Amino acid sequence: EAGVVQSPRYKIIEKKQPVAFWCNPISGHNTLYWYRQNLGQGPELLIRYENEEAVDDSQLPKDRFSAERLKGVDSTLKIQPAELGDSAVYLCASSLGQMNTEAFFGQGTRLTVV
Amino acid sequence: GEDVEQSLFLSVREGDSSVINCTYTDSSSTYLYWYKQEPGAGLQLLTYIFSNMDMKQDQRLTVLLNKKDKHLSLRIADTQTGDSAIYFCAERRGTDKLIFGTGTRLQVFP
């Protein structure tokens, strides 16, 4: 069974440019998460979806970040415009959505803003 | 992570036991987790413990939970070079929010 797939693996952009990340969760997983992991730190939740509904986006910087999950399957995370401080690894994870169900993580997208 | 603390580094000799420690702050957390992250990879769930348990053992892994002190530890028996990675503890707050620690880099030398 395929795991959580993210693309691209790496992205280098200039500041003020837009960037988008894509995530394909495990089939049948209703819950999808986007995390940001800064260098030397643990992941921090940006947004959580239950099916197509964003149920927790309190940590998402809404002035420049946006996300969508069309049809409750794939998801995209966008940054526009990117800033130097956005350089990080962006991780997507999915789970069945029930209490304590394991969250499976993708390999992440490493974003470098120059 | 917010308020979940871990030591940054641990170095052990191959074959010895490793103990990675974590302190958390939310006494209402229901589950506590240990994740492993290898270079360039996502996070892999190693084990978890329910908050009403004191200990959980899974092959070479032993998790100890001191709920009174909000202290969690992961013991890896017979540590191997393949165990070298960053280990994150995480607590579940509310229905489905994971708060991660800063991670402990484990280095295993021969």
Q: What is the pLDDT of residues A7-59, one digit of tens each?
A: 999 999 999 999 999 999 999 999 999 999 999 889 999 999 999 999 889 88
* Per-residue pLDDT at A40: 86
On whether any CB of chain A is under 8 Å from the CB of B40, the answer is yes
Distance of alpha carbon B33 from alpha carbon A3, whole angstroms: 20
Provide the mean pLDDT of chain A.
92
Per the DSSP assignment, residues forming a β-bridge with B61 are B58, B76
Cβ distance B42 to A102 less than 8 Å, yes or no, reads no
Contact B75, B64 (CB under 8 A): yes
Task: Report which residue type is found at B107.
Answer: Q
Cβ distance B101 to A42 less than 8 Å, yes or no, reads yes
Cβ distance B98 to A102 less than 8 Å, yes or no, reads no
Cβ distance A103 to B41 less than 8 Å, yes or no, reads no
Distance of alpha carbon A52 from alpha carbon A74, whole angstroms: 9
Distance of alpha carbon A46 from alpha carbon A99, whole angstroms: 19
Per residue of chain B (110 residues), give pLDDT as tens.
Answer: 458 999 999 999 999 999 999 999 887 878 899 999 998 788 999 999 998 899 999 999 999 999 999 999 999 999 999 999 999 999 887 767 788 999 999 999 99
SS3 A84: helix
On whether any CB of chain A is under 8 Å from the CB of B58, the answer is no
Q: List pLDDT tens digits, range A63-90.
A: 999 999 988 899 999 999 999 999 999 9
| Res. A97: pLDDT tops 80 | no
Which region holds residue B102: left if phi is over 0, alpha if psi is between -120 and 50, else beta? alpha
- Residue A100's pLDDT band, with cuts at 50, 70 and 90, is low
Residues of A with Cβ-Cβ distance to B43 under 8 angstroms: 43, 91, 93, 105
Cβ distance A102 to B45 less than 8 Å, yes or no, reads yes
